Amino acid sequence: MGIFNRGLSKTRQSFMGQLGQIISGTTDIDEDTWEDVEAILIQSDLGVETTQKIMQDLRDRVEIEGIKRTEKLQKALKQSLRTLIKDPPPVNLSGRRLSVILIVGVNGSGKTTSIAKLAHHFSEQGRRVVLAAGDTFRAAAIEQLQKWGERVNVPVIAGQPGGDPAAVVYDATAAASARNRDLLMIDTAGRLHTNYNLMEELAKIRAVTAKAVTDAPHEVWLVLDGTTGQNALQQAKKFKEAVEVTGVIVTKLDGTAKGGMVFAVFQELGLPVQFIGLGEGMDDLVEFRADKFVDSLFED
Ligand SMILES: Nc1nc2c(ncn2[C@@H]2O[C@H](COP(=O)(O)OP(=O)(O)OP(=O)(O)O)[C@@H](O)[C@H]2O)c(=O)[nH]1
Ligand SMILES: [Mg+2]
C-alpha cells in the first residue's frame, strides 16, 4: 500500500463507507440519491461551492453517459472529482544561485515540521539547503528548528528569541551565499490571518528577501492544517491577500476524514497543492499527485 493510500485511510473510510451504502443497492438513481451524494461531499469538507460544482458535473455526466443505476455512480463521481484537481507546477527553484521559499500559516498548522521534511526532501534531490529560524516569537521555536536541522543534517541560521525576524532572514541570505547553499527556506511564526501587525511583519520579511536576492521569495507556501477543513479556507483567503502565496501545503491529512478540503483549495483559492502531510515522520510529506489522491479516496 502506498503512502497516499495509507495516509488518506480515514477520509477514504468515511467517504467510501457512506458512498457504499448508496451505491451498493442496484436501484435507479433518483432525487434521494442526489441528495445523499451531496450530503457526503459536504461531510467530507469539500465546501458548498465545490460540492455544487461537482454535483453539476456529475449530473451532466450521468445524463450524457445515460447512467441509470446507482452502482455506476462511483466511477462517474471519481471522474468528476478528478476534473477539479491537478498536479502542481514544478517547484520554481532552478536557474539561479540561491532560491528562497517562504513558509507561512496560522499557529500550529505544521510549518516547522513541514520545513524539516522539505529540507530532507530537497537535500535528497541534491539541493544544498539552509534554514532560517524566522519564528523568534514563540518560546522554543528556534530550538525546535535547530533540532530538526540536526536530524536532517541541514544548517539553521538563528538569532535571539524575541529578535527581529526580518534581521534573521537577512543574515540567512548572507549565510546562504557564504556557505554556498542554493536553497533557503524560511520558517515564520504562526499568526492569525486577522492580526494586521503580524501580517505586516510577513510583508516586511518578504521585502527583506527581495532586497537580498533577486526576485525572492521564489515560492511562498501557505501551510494549512487539514484537520480544520473548511475553516482553513477562510484563513487562506486572508493570507493570499496579504502575501503573494504561490502554493499550499495541506498537513495532517492522516489524522482526519476531512480530506475533501483539498478539492476546495484548488476550486475556491485557485492555488495548487504542492505537498501534503500524511504523517509525522520525515518521509511523510509528499508531492501532491492528483491521480493518486483521487484513487486513494476510492480504493480499499
Ligand atoms: N499526524 C501528522 N502530524 C503533523 C503533520 N504535520 C505536522 N504535524 C504535527 O503538528 C504539530 C505542530 O507542528 P509544527 O510544525 O510545530 O507547527 P507550526 O505551524 O510550526 O506551529 P507554530 O510554530 O506554533 O505556529 C506537531 O506535533 C507536528 O508533528 C502531519 O502531516 N501529520
Ligand atoms: Mg513553528
Phi then psi dihedrals of residue 156, to 5 deg: -120, 125
**Beta carbon of 113 within 6 Å of any ligand 1 atom:** yes
- Angstrom distance (rounded) from CA 13 to CA 258: 11
| β-strand partners of 173 | none
Residue 198 grid coordinates = 503580524
Residue 96 is predicted with a pLDDT of 95
The mean pLDDT value for 104-125 works out to 97
The DSSP element (H or E) to which 112 belongs, if any, is helix 111-124
What is the DSSP pairing of strand 183-188 with strand 99-104?
parallel
The mean pLDDT value for 52-79 works out to 95
Phi then psi dihedrals of residue 229, to 5 deg: 50, -130
How far, in Å, are 46, 168, 188, 227 from residue 230 at the CA level?
A: 8, 34, 23, 9
pLDDT of 144 above 90: yes
Residue 56 is predicted with a pLDDT of 97
- Angstrom distance (rounded) from CA 266 to CA 268: 6
The DSSP element (H or E) to which 6 belongs, if any, is helix 3-7
- The model's pLDDT over 258-287, given as tens digits with 9 standing for 90+, comes to 999 999 999 999 999 999 999 999 999 999
Q: 217 alpha carbon to ligand 2 midpoint, in Å?
A: 19
Q: What is the CA radius of gyration of the chain?
A: 21
**Beta carbon of 163 within 6 Å of any ligand 1 atom:** no
Residue 196 is predicted with a pLDDT of 86
Which of the pair, 183 or 139, is modelled with greater confidence?
183
Residue 300 is predicted with a pLDDT of 63
Residue 193 is predicted with a pLDDT of 82
Is the Cα dihedral 29, 32, 34, 39 positive or negative?
A: negative
The mean pLDDT value for 164-186 works out to 97
**Beta carbon of 256 within 6 Å of any ligand 1 atom:** no
| β-strand partners of 101 | 185, 219
pLDDT of 93 above 80: yes
Q: What is the pTM of this model?
A: 0.96
Residue 110 grid coordinates = 505544521
Q: 108 alpha carbon to ligand 2 midpoint, in Å?
A: 7
The mean pLDDT value for 17-35 works out to 87
Nearest-CA residue for ligand 1 atom 1 is 279
Percent of the chain with pLDDT over 90: 87
Burial class (CB in 10 A: 0-12, 13-18, 19+), 95: exposed
Ion ligand 2 neighbours, Cβ < 5 Å: 111-112
Ligand at shortest distance from the CA of 106: 1
- Angstrom distance (rounded) from CA 199 to CA 104: 10
158, 148 in Cβ contact below 8 A?
no
Phi then psi dihedrals of residue 27, to 5 deg: -115, 170
CA neighbor of 205 nearest in space, from 137, 265, 141: 137
Q: What is the DSSP code (8-state) at residue 265?
A: I
Residue at 296: amino acid letter: S
Q: What integer best gives the mean pLDDT of the chain?
A: 94
Give 299's pLDDT tier (boundaries 50, 70, 90): confident
**Beta carbon of 36 within 6 Å of any ligand 1 atom:** no
The mean pLDDT value for 207-228 works out to 96
Residue 53 is predicted with a pLDDT of 97
